[in-house]
């Protein structure tokens, strides 16, 4: 956008746009900055129109495109963009924007309703508009409502796309779309089609289902009989009416037969209405707890998130695939920044045996969940590996590291991917490439060196001596890393092939080196000391309690007894080596390597207040 409206004087009318653009570039995640930018563009030259300069129009389009590329779920801005295009360029440009918006928001009731309104206002071929609407409305209701197969009224409507049908039609709040569709059929003076649409709606648990039934029921007694049901159904009902008349031994006139047929149809729809009402009551218990149901960048409350979880639990227990998927799609639109819902959606879809849909879920999740939380992307990589697409899994790891070059979790995961799919040498090479890379801080490299040593030990062809050599060689460089020392402790504590005395000697050596060389905070030192004390208690020899008490005094005792002479190394407080790390280094040094799948926990149903995205 910097090419548009370069400053040309004191009265430069693009100055506000450039200021807003600078704010967007400085903080692209802040919604308010984007809103100010779009507003500034829309007010250029006193308000944009067909007569506005190409630079002003291009600036506004660029602002919309950039904003919607980052936040495509803001359906209101797609509508705003389409209206702008309609005003300055015409119908075709506006339709292209609507189609882009629908592609990004295929489950947005409001955007579909706006698109249908736009088509109704701009297209005079009713079949084109009907195809747009019918695409969404013929859908399977919940199984409990389909047992009355008499009402297969969908056969009276143009054959739809089942995939598109599940996007909007069964949404509990889809009445804006249905209202537009019914309005269209009424405009085209097609009461039979209005009846067909209403016959479909009254079986769906919608927020305003009673309003539709009140419009639908009188039509049973107004339309020609042929429009009320498919021919085979009418024939069956007619036979039932005639059989009942014959049982009384009195033939009936055709008008009486038709009246009874309408009465049976009315009675059957009353049963459907009762079933729908029961379903609406059940669903409302969950719908009422959801709060706002549109995407926004602000954090949601724990109450809202728990409301979605309970709703999903309910639909999954009901076992209707289409309805459960519909609720999931609504959920991830509202909760797009909360990766636990993406994990849940992918797991549920995987349980349905739909691998391609699982892939699409991960792909969409990778767009919305910030890359600073790489877990969902790594899960995607594991999924692709499980499907035999190993190259895709590697590419996902590599793509994450392009943005997070110091992410230990991803580097280690990539190394193990190579180990699983190739061999130990390939895994070690990944680690060494990142250890030797000019980028990456000391603490990342320390964790990778420790992982390298553990790989050498735990592999089928590895040895403890090779692993120990890596630890010994690198202790002088990475002594300030908690991950390095924890892995070394773990390595020595898990040795079982050597004698107990030798194991004790090696563990003591690690602990001594740790206290002598590391500048980790005292709290971390105490954590490590507890590991050593536990070793002395449970695996130590006859004299181990002497050392236990020495370490206990030095690490946990008061200042008066915590100091000890250490020869040329000087005095130490609580066994800590001299010197301190700065705050930034301390934070990195004491951080622990935790993989994303180790952080999955049960949500707290009693939590209150805003729910952090992290």
Residues 175-206 pLDDT 10s: 988 898 888 888 888 889 899 889 989 999 99
* H helix or E strand, kind and range, residue 65: helix 54-70
In this prediction, residues 70-94 reach a mean pLDDT of: 94
Report the pLDDT value the prediction gives residue 337, as an integer from 0 to 100: 94
- Greater confidence (221 vs 248) lies with 221
- Categorize the per-residue pLDDT at 361 as very low, low, confident or very high, splitting at 50, 70 and 90: very high
Report the pLDDT value the prediction gives residue 230, as an integer from 0 to 100: 82
Which of the given ranges, 338-347, 501-510, 536-545, has the highest pLDDT on average?
A: 338-347
Report the pLDDT value the prediction gives residue 448, as an integer from 0 to 100: 96
Say if residue 4's pLDDT is above 70.
Answer: no
Tokens of 500: 């107990």
Which of the given ranges, 127-136, 279-288, 604-613, has the highest pLDDT on average?
A: 279-288
Q: Say how many CA atoms lie within 13 Å of 389 toward its Cβ.
A: 14
**Distances in whole angstroms, Cα of residue 34 to Cα of each of 24, 40, 565, 574:** 6, 10, 62, 53
Report the pLDDT value the prediction gives residue 490, as an integer from 0 to 100: 93
Report the pLDDT value the prediction gives residue 538, as an integer from 0 to 100: 93
Report the pLDDT value the prediction gives residue 579, as an integer from 0 to 100: 63
In this prediction, residues 391-409 reach a mean pLDDT of: 95
* H helix or E strand, kind and range, residue 86: helix 75-88
Rg (CA), the chain: 34
Say if residue 6's pLDDT is above 70.
Answer: no
DSSP string for residues in 281-350:
HHHHHHHTT----S--SSPPBHHHHHHHHHHHHHHHHHT-HHHHHHHHHHHHHHTTT-HHHHHHHHHHHH
Say if residue 122's pLDDT is above 90.
Answer: no
- Greater confidence (5 vs 348) lies with 348
User: Lowest mean pLDDT: which of 236-245, 353-362, 476-485, 513-522?
Assistant: 236-245
Give the tens place of pLDDT for each residue, 258-277. 888 888 888 889 999 999 99
- Greater confidence (354 vs 148) lies with 354
- Categorize the per-residue pLDDT at 57 as very low, low, confident or very high, splitting at 50, 70 and 90: very high
Distance separating alpha carbons of residues 82 and 102, to the nearest angstrom: 12
Say if residue 569's pLDDT is above 70.
Answer: no
Residue with tokens 């935790």: 594
**Distances in whole angstroms, Cα of residue 493 to Cα of each of 151, 514, 538, 580:** 71, 15, 11, 28
- Categorize the per-residue pLDDT at 95 as very low, low, confident or very high, splitting at 50, 70 and 90: very high
Secondary structure of 241-272 in HEC code, one letter for each residue: HHHHHHHCCCCCCHHHHHHHHHHHHHHHHHHH
Distance separating alpha carbons of residues 52 and 364, to the nearest angstrom: 37
Report the pLDDT value the prediction gives residue 129, as an integer from 0 to 100: 55
Helix ranges, 319-441 (H): 321-334, 339-351, 355-368, 375-386, 390-403, 408-421, 424-436
Mean pLDDT for all residues in the chain: 85
In sequence order, which residues have a C-beta less than 8 Å from that of residue 346 and are 6 or more positions away? Answer: 358, 361, 362, 365, 379, 383
Distance separating alpha carbons of residues 411 and 172, to the nearest angstrom: 44
- Greater confidence (133 vs 566) lies with 133
Residue with tokens 């004390």: 533
Distance separating alpha carbons of residues 510 and 532, to the nearest angstrom: 10
User: Lowest mean pLDDT: which of 194-208, 338-352, 494-508, 544-558?
Assistant: 494-508
- Categorize the per-residue pLDDT at 9 as very low, low, confident or very high, splitting at 50, 70 and 90: very low
- CATH placement of domain 106-281: 1.25.40
Report the pLDDT value the prediction gives residue 571, as an integer from 0 to 100: 44
- Categorize the per-residue pLDDT at 407 as very low, low, confident or very high, splitting at 50, 70 and 90: very high
- Greater confidence (360 vs 4) lies with 360
In sequence order, which residues have a C-beta less than 8 Å from that of residue 336 and are 6 or more positions away? Answer: 73, 295, 368, 369
Q: Say how many CA atoms lie within 13 Å of 589 toward its Cβ.
A: 20
**Distances in whole angstroms, Cα of residue 434 to Cα of each of 350, 405, 412, 426, 446:** 34, 9, 10, 13, 11
- 375-386 helix and 408-421 helix, angle to the nearest 10 degrees: 10
- Greater confidence (6 vs 249) lies with 249
Say if residue 15's pLDDT is above 60.
Answer: yes
Say if residue 151's pLDDT is above 50.
Answer: no
Nearest to 483 by CA among 586, 593, 321: 593
- Categorize the per-residue pLDDT at 478 as very low, low, confident or very high, splitting at 50, 70 and 90: very high
Report the pLDDT value the prediction gives residue 372, as an integer from 0 to 100: 92
In this prediction, residues 327-336 reach a mean pLDDT of: 95
Report the pLDDT value the prediction gives residue 563, as an integer from 0 to 100: 43
- Greater confidence (244 vs 42) lies with 42
* Cβ pair 612, 299 in contact under 8 A: yes
Q: How many helices (H) and strands (E) does the chain have?
A: 30, 0
Say if residue 465's pLDDT is above 50.
Answer: yes
Say if residue 11's pLDDT is above 60.
Answer: no
Distance separating alpha carbons of residues 299 and 335, to the nearest angstrom: 9
% of the chain with per-residue pLDDT over 90: 56
- Categorize the per-residue pLDDT at 393 as very low, low, confident or very high, splitting at 50, 70 and 90: very high
In this prediction, residues 334-351 reach a mean pLDDT of: 96
């Amino acid at each position: 956008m910097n090419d548009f409206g370069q400053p040309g004087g004191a009265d430069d009318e693009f100055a506000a746009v450039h200021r807003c653009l600078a704010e967007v570039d400085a903080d692209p995640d802040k919604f308010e900055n984007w809103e100010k930018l779009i507003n500034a563009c829309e007010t250029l030259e006193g308000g944009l129109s067909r007569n506005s300069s190409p630079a002003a129009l291009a600036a506004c389009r660029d602002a919309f495109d950039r904003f919607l590329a980052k936040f495509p779920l803001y359906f209101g801005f797609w509508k705003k963009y389409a209206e702008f295009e309609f005003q300055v360029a015409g119908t075709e440009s506006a339709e292209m924007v609507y189609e882009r918006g629908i592609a990004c928001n295929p489950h947005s009731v409001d955007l579909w309703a706006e698109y249908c309104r736009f088509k109704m206002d701009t297209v005079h071929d009713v079949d084109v508009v009907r195809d747009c609407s019918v695409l969404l409305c013929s859908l399977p209701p919940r199984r409990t409502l389909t047992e009355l197969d008499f009402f297969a009224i969908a056969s009276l409507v143009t054959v739809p796309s089942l995939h598109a049908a599940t996007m909007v039609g069964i949404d509990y709040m889809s009445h804006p779309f249905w209202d537009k569709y019914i309005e269209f059929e009424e405009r085209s003076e097609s009461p039979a089609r209005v009846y067909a649409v209403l016959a479909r709606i009254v079986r769906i648990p919608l927020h305003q289902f009673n309003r539709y039934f009140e419009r639908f029921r009188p039509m049973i007694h107004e339309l020609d009989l042929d429009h009320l049901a498919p021919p085979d159904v009418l024939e069956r009902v007619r036979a039932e009416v005639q059989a009942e008349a014959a049982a009384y031994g009195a033939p009936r006139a055709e008008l009486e037969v038709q009246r009874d047929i309408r009465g049976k149809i009315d009675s059957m729809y009353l049963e459907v209405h009762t079933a729908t009402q029961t379903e609406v009551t059940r669903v409302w218990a969950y719908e009422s707890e959801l709060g706002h149901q549109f995407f926004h960048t602000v954090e949601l409350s724990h109450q809202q998130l728990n409301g979605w979880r309970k709703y999903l639990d309910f639909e999954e227990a009901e076992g209707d695939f289409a309805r459960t998927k519909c609720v999931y799609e609504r959920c991830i639109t509202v909760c797009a920044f909360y990766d636990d819902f993406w994990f849940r959606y992918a797991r549920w879809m995987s349980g349905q045996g739909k691998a391609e849909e699982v892939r699409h879920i991960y792909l969409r999740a990778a767009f919305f969940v910030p890359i600073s939380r790489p877990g969902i992307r790594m899960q995607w990589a594991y999924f692709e590996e499980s499907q035999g697409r190993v190259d895709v899994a590697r590419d996902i790891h590599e793509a994450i590291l392009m943005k997070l070059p110091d992410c230990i979790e991803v580097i280690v995961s990539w190394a193990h991917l190579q180990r699983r799919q190739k061999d130990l040498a390939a895994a070690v090479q990944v680690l060494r490439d990142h250890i030797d890379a000019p980028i990456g801080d000391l603490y990342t490299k320390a964790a990778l060196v420790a992982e390298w040593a553990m790989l050498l030990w735990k592999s089928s062809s590895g040895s403890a001596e090779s692993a120990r050599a890596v630890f010994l060689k690198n202790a002088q460089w990475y002594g300030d890393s908690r991950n390095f020392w924890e892995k070394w402790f773990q390595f020595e504590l898990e040795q079982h092939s050597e004698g107990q005395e030798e194991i004790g000697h090696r563990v003591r050596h690690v602990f001594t080196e740790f206290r002598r060389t590391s500048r980790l905070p005292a709290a971390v030192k105490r954590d490590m000391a507890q590991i050593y004390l536990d070793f002395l208690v449970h695996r130590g020899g006859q004299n181990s309690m002497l050392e236990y008490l020495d370490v206990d005094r030095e690490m946990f005792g008061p200042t008066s007894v915590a100091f000890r002479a250490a020869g040329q190394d000087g005095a130490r407080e609580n066994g800590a080596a001299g010197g301190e790390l700065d705050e930034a280094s301390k934070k990195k040094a004491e951080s622990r390597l935790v993989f994303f799948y180790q952080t999955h926990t049960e949500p707290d149903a009693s939590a209150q207040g805003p729910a952090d995205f992290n």
